[in-house]
Amino acid sequence: MQLLTLFVATAALITPIAADFHLLYSDWVNSNRRDFFTCPSNYWTNKCWCNGDRRSNTAFWSEQSNGQIRLKLKKVCGVAEVDFWWRPSGVSGDSRVRWQAYIPNADGRVVATCYNNGERALKPDCNLGLLSQNRVYDGWVCYSAICGSA
């Protein structure tokens, strides 16, 4: 029994599932522009989503030749580049999954799975100059092993 308890405790410690980051998007006021980016869960502040502190680069979605939608983000929790693929019907019977992330040209393993997080508007809006203002939405929370203690 003690061996089983030790095995379960060890497995729990090495399981790489933790809410590591949020996949957000921003809509620019008076524009059709929509940017996507990530912020670490352990740095949940407008310094990230408005000022860019510890935020990934921004990207636009693109429709691929096979009809699938992809986001390519750089600097996600220190990883050089991550591809996010939209899964409109979920994955493997889990209809909650909306984005899956992969490291390009790697082994094809999913490195992050993102679930809808209500898409609520974050406050305050980001004011970036005289005519530049955008509203940021907390779209998806992502569970992964790539961020560690980012």
Q: What is the 3-state secondary structure (H, E, C) of the chain?
A: CHHHHHHHHHHHHHCCCEEEEEEEEEEECCCCCEEEEEEEHHHCCHHHHCCCCCCCCCECCEECCCCCEEEEEEEECCEEEEEEEECCCCECCECCEEEEEECCCCCCCEEEEEEEEEEEECCCCEECCCCCEEEEEEEEEEEECCCCCC
pLDDT value at position 11?
Answer: 35
Domain limits of the chain? 19-144
Instruction: Write down the mean pLDDT value for the chain.
Output: 80
- pLDDT tens for 26-80 read 887 777 778 899 999 999 898 998 888 999 988 878 888 888 899 999 999 889 9
pLDDT value at position 128?
Answer: 63
The reported pTM is 0.77
pLDDT value at position 18?
Answer: 53
- pLDDT tens for 110-144 read 999 999 988 888 887 787 655 567 888 999 999 99
